[in-house]
Amino acid sequence: MEGIYILLGVLAVILLLIVCNIRVVPQAYVYVVERFGAFHAAWGTGLHWKFPLIEKVAKRVSIKEQVVDFQPQSVITKDNVTMQIDTVVFFQITNAMQFTYGVERPISAIENLTATTLRNIVGDLDLEATLTSRDIINTRITAILDEATDRWGIKVQRVELKNILPPREIQDAMERQMKADRERREKVIQAEAEKKSQILVAEGEKESKILRAQADKEAKILSAEADKQSLILQADAIREQKIREAEGEAQAINMVQQAVADSIIKLNEANPNEQVIQLKSLEAFGKAADGRATKIIIPSEIQGLAGLATGIKEVVGSNNAPQIKQ
């Protein structure tokens, strides 16, 4: 029975050793394993087992991207201005073995390397260039750190200047300068706005005068055209009136001439004798001498009007008197 208990005890110890030496590596981690004090393997994500008393996990390394915010560093610019600059470094461990055995205290090494590199870069720049060249400084620091930390198994993704703090008197001078610049820009903007306003007012007045002149011109043109049309219409009316009067007179003359011609035709058809013709001439002479004429010229044909009248009277009297037969 004692042998069985001893065997069970041995099996329990072996099982406990097996269970205690099982390692599960989580995601985004790498375990650096040493055997007899020397590097043996880098375990990735998954289930692993190590030999007890022979192997040990020397370091658990995270391969996730990490962020380190370093304390402000005192730097001096090219124009001897001392300022405080703090940086933020984004890095990732790409080789766990180099990270474990490459450098002692790697975060402190990165901080010191960042500080010295920053001093070298800012030392070549003046104050204004330092304040306005953050992207250039970030790019240069990132390139230098990435190259320097490559043998440590570290990949520097980017470096950002978090704050740039110049001395208080410099800040006050910069604030005064910024205030003066803002006031100057405000005055310039106000002057430009006033100038544009005056230009717009002048252009408006100019356009208004032009429009008024054009309106006056068009009104005068329309008035002249109206007067012209009125004169044309008046002239047309007078001409039409004269034409109608002339046509009326012509028609009257034609009617008179037609009446005269008709009377002549009737006289010719009646075959008048000479005495009747002389009588008509006498009537016409009477109409001509109706009292309005101041001078009368008697035609030679009617000089013997008295004899004609006496002859007519005798003829009438002879016709009316009783005839006496002898």
Euclidean distance between CA atoms 126 and 124, whole angstroms: 7
CA dist 114 → 87, 130, 305 (Å)? 8, 16, 161
Q: Is the pLDDT of residue 321 over 50?
A: no
Euclidean distance between CA atoms 167 and 71, whole angstroms: 17
pTM assigned to the model = 0.51
The better pLDDT of the pair 176, 309 is held by 176
Going by pLDDT thresholds of 50, 70 and 90, the confidence category of residue 11 is confident
Do the beta carbons of residue 164 and residue 127 sit within 8 Å? no
Residue 323's pLDDT is what?
A: 42
Residue 18's pLDDT is what?
A: 75
Percent of the chain scored above 90 by pLDDT? 20
Q: Is the pLDDT of residue 197 over 60?
A: yes
Q: Which residue has the tokens 């820009």?
A: 185
Reduced to 3 states (helix: H, G, I; strand: E, B; else coil), residue 43 is strand
Going by pLDDT thresholds of 50, 70 and 90, the confidence category of residue 315 is very low
Euclidean distance between CA atoms 82 and 76, whole angstroms: 4
Euclidean distance between CA atoms 243 and 249, whole angstroms: 10
DSSP of 306-325, one letter per residue?
A: HHHHHHHHHHHHHHHSPP--
Residues facing residue 66 across a β-bridge: 91
Average pLDDT of the residues in 249-264: 78
Do the beta carbons of residue 110 and residue 68 sit within 8 Å? yes
Average pLDDT of the residues in 125-131: 85
> Which is nearest to 74 in space by CA: 173, 166, 158, 143?
166
pLDDT digits (tens, 9 = 90+) for 37-62: 889 899 998 888 888 888 888 899 99
Euclidean distance between CA atoms 281 and 150, whole angstroms: 155
Going by pLDDT thresholds of 50, 70 and 90, the confidence category of residue 319 is very low
Please give the backbone phi and psi of residue 191, each rounded to the nearest 5 degrees, phi first: -65, -45
Residues belonging to the chain = 326
pLDDT digits (tens, 9 = 90+) for 59-96: 999 999 999 998 888 888 888 888 899 899 999 999 99
Mean pLDDT of the chain: 81
Please report, as a single letter, which amino acid is at residue 60: R
pLDDT digits (tens, 9 = 90+) for 16-42: 777 777 888 899 899 999 998 889 899
Q: Is the pLDDT of residue 320 over 50?
A: no
Do the beta carbons of residue 118 and residue 139 sit within 8 Å? no
Residue 292's pLDDT is what?
A: 54
Domain boundaries, the chain: 2-61, 66-166, 169-255
Say which range, 161-170, 201-210, 310-319, has the weakest mean pLDDT.
Answer: 310-319
Q: Which CATH number does 66-166 carry?
A: 3.30.479.30
